[in-house]
Amino acid sequence: MQNLLDPAILFFVFGCFAGLIRSNLEIPRSIAKFLSLYLLMALGLKGGFALAKTGLNPEIALSLAIALAMAFIVPTIGYWFLKDRIAKFDAAAVAASYGSVSAVTFVTAIQFMEQSQLNPNGYMAIALVIMESPAIIMAVLLANMLRHENNTAATSKEPSLKNILHESFTDGAHLLLLGSMAVGYFSGEAGKTVMQPFSGDLFKGMLAFFLLDMGLMVAKNFKEAKSNSLTLIAYASVSPLVHASLALGLCLLCGISLADTILLMVLSASASYIVVPAVLRYAIPEANPSIYFGLSIGITFPINILVGIPLYAWLAQTLVRA
């Protein structure tokens, strides 16, 4: 309940409401893009400052190893479950979307944890970076295998793995996050003090404004998401909890701290609706964008924002010794 009464979440709910009643309220695309870039820069700076303070110790390395493992486990499970239920190209694209991560969901989780005094570790932004690309690579490899199996030579030249990797790792949002982390790391505590008014004091308001825009976008895509089969709707609704539970199990097995466990659960439960769709549009043109984009933004994103984050935090607090 506390999460639902947070101003940023209330603005998200308001955005959904405004969109559903077909209000003409909208955030100009240039402003929405700026807000997205701001959140990534602030998140990257926080991660860099935290890493400069703690250093890369074995505990952090273990958390990051689990993040990397989940980046392969989630798309593998997704494709295995979906490949005989929908078109295989669509299955690969959906698996990639759910194997990758949502930066906005992660940022919202950080804010929730700070308000709940759960002390999130800024260095976990590195996990966000680590989990971004493996699922995309797996999906592209699967798509290429399917093309050869079906003997359907594409009319245009197939995108090379080198081009896919370049597109994934040099994506502007991804690059900004990495660059901001580097700036935070090298500037350290002095940089944190200087940047506090920008990356700290403004953060909550910027997040609320961005979630308002996300609410409008969810409402716009909700009707299309509902038009999918019951199997896909069930996958988009249930898979976040399944993926979060798998991450929780690995964290319990490896003795990961409470804060890192919550964030690993959130990352594993999230789905990409920015980077992955942008790459897959030309990497797997056989897949239907309305499926993998509509499910992630229209169903999974609001579930995670409204109920998922507090649920994952509660589960972790119940089972993990802080």
User: Per residue in 138-161, pLDDT tens?
Assistant: 887 888 788 777 765 444 455 555
Work out the percent of the chain whose per-residue pLDDT is above 70: 89
pLDDT greater than 60 at residue 118: yes
Residues 7-19+27-151+164-319, CATH architecture: Up-down Bundle (1.20)
Residue 189's CB: how many other CB atoms inside 10 A?
10
Say how many C-beta atoms besides its own lie within 10 A of residue 230's C-beta. Answer: 7
The predicted-structure confidence for 238-285, as pLDDT tens digits, reads as follows: 999 999 999 999 999 999 999 999 999 999 999 988 777 767 777 788
Statement: residue 311 has pLDDT above 90: yes
CA dist 6 and 212 (Å) reads 13
pLDDT for the residue 289: 81
Between the alpha carbon of residue 14 and those of residues 1, 17, 21, 33, 273, the distances in Å are: 16, 5, 11, 20, 21
Closest Cα to residue 97, out of 280, 250, 235?
280
- Give pLDDT, residue 155: 43
The chain-wide mean pLDDT, for the chain, equals: 85
The CA distance from 92 to 87, in Å, is 9
Calpha distance 125→107 (Å, rounded): 9
Nearest to 131 by CA among 168, 91, 162: 168
Whether the per-residue pLDDT at 57 is higher than 80: the answer is: yes
Q: Is 153 exposed, middle or buried (0-12, 13-18, 19+ CB in 10 A)?
A: exposed
The model's pLDDT over 74-103, given as tens digits with 9 standing for 90+, comes to 999 999 999 999 999 999 999 999 998 988
Cα 248 from Cα 317, distance rounded (Å):
11
Instruction: Identify whether the C-beta of residue 13 lies closer than 8 Å to the C-beta of residue 94.
Output: no
**Of the ranges 3-7, 35-39, 93-97, which one carries the lowest mean pLDDT score?**
3-7
The whole-number pLDDT of residue 153 equals 47
Q: Domain map of the chain by residue range?
A: 7-19+27-151+164-319
Q: Are 230 and 297 in contact (CB under 8 A)?
A: no
pLDDT tens-digit readout, 167-215: 656 666 667 877 888 898 899 889 989 999 888 888 888 888 888 988 8
Specify whether the CB–CB gap between 322 and 258 falls below 8 A.
yes
122 secondary structure, DSSP code: G
